[in-house]
Structure 1
Amino acid sequence: MRTLFAAPLLCLPLLAFADCQDRLNDLTKTLQPGRTLATELSTCKVWPANPSHTLAVLALPQQGGTDKHTVYDVEIVVADSRSGKIIAHRFEKGALTSDAIGLRSVALDTASWRLTRDVLAFGVRATHEGTSRVAPFAQTTLSLYVVDGTTLSRRLDTLVTQTSGGQWDGNCAGRFTDTSRAIALGPAGPSGYASLIVSEKVVTTTNTPTRSDCTSTERTTKRPSVSLEYDGTHYPVPTALSRH
């Protein structure tokens, strides 16, 4: 994911950010005048851990996209919940792609990501899904951001939190795997940042046709947890946990 920072502090006219979904176009006009907003892939939310701030993600399709392939630039925004003034933002060029594996949703994760006593992060989750009926596929990734002056710094980059897929004959026989990962904050390391403890559960479902029915069997496997440590700038994500 290539990134580009935009540092100037910008502001909007006074507005009621409680209705933030209606204000996404205003944010777009301020930060990316002339660009088209993909409203179905853009979102905003008051930050529960810091209600004076409102978070937003703006998905902006690049020119030349088609129904089969579109690349999106992304603006991630933190704004004052009362006035709408932009506190910090980050522009990520070509951050998201929708092709054979289509981009289905973008969501804000406002769990309590307190990385240190003074550093609070928020998350952006992106979900992609395939269109094949006999070989379904879906994947969700998580990135974490913190306010860093008038910009946002990414502390975790596209950790895969869920993957599901498999193959079947369109009638019964087939095998499906669902891998889900939970992330918990662990003890602080030498940097003072909490470690991220990633636990993983894999559910494998096998469907088998019988004479008059279709039977399913499930097998659940829990894999050893992985600890991600802050290296001074971000949490490196192992290849096995990143989007391919």
Structure 2
Amino acid sequence: MRRRPDIQRSGAPEWSPARLLAALVVSAVVALAVLAGLVLAVVGGLSEEPDERDAALQAAAPSPDMSRHDALAAAPMPTADPDDALPGPVSRQAADVLELPRATGAGAADVPTGFPRTPEGSLAQLAAIDVTAMQSGSMDGVRRVIAEWAAPGGPTPETWSGVDGMASLLSAAGLSGAGSPQLAIVVRPVMGLIKGTVGEEFAVVCVNFEFTVTVEQTSRIAIADCQRMSWAGDRWVIGPGPEPAPAPSVWPGTDTAIAAGWRDLRHV
């Protein structure tokens, strides 16, 4: 009878797949920490400092002379800590769902378009604008998008928060405004919310994006964007007036994101 070969065993228990994955993540923390600092520059570019934001909200507080559009845009949103934007534990809760229409064509600056005149259509259009702009990875790319997709009186290639965010990212990476072939930005709209509407042709909507930025190493972070959306002819554009109060940038799918009112996006 053939004997089984002897197998030497250590006193330590065998590692489970979960523990192996945890060790893999820990081994990447040092490299990711460097990139997290770079990507956090984008959050700084898209968000005002707390004192500036509070002052702006007080200055824009609803008044008898303020239009319904301005009052809706200026109404404060929940806040979150900067660390909440970094990857965190996925919630066991099921978030509410927002069903978004799909694009039916490509518009100016290669931005997907053809969304219906509904609040969900305006949110889908904002997501398409932001994704196209930020994935361009260059100042020219973001400027070209906002020049084509903002109404008169809205954000400009000099004032849009997306332009400021791209400038912050490129500066932190030590790159010029032209970007670099080594820079890769992938932007996924994961959660969203409809702050409110005024009639059928105006909405304030917000999208919570998952940004994946690679410059030699890869890091991920959540960045939120809220905009006034106005119906112009046959499409949604970013509307006139100051950009709305910012929404919290919170890692999608976490308890914190769900508590802040974010809903999962589902394309139908």
Shorter-chain TM-score category?
0.3 to 0.5
**What TM-score do the two structures reach when normalised by structure 2?**
0.32
When normalised by structure 1's length, the TM-score is 0.35
Larger radius of gyration, structure 1 or 2? 2
More helix by share: 2
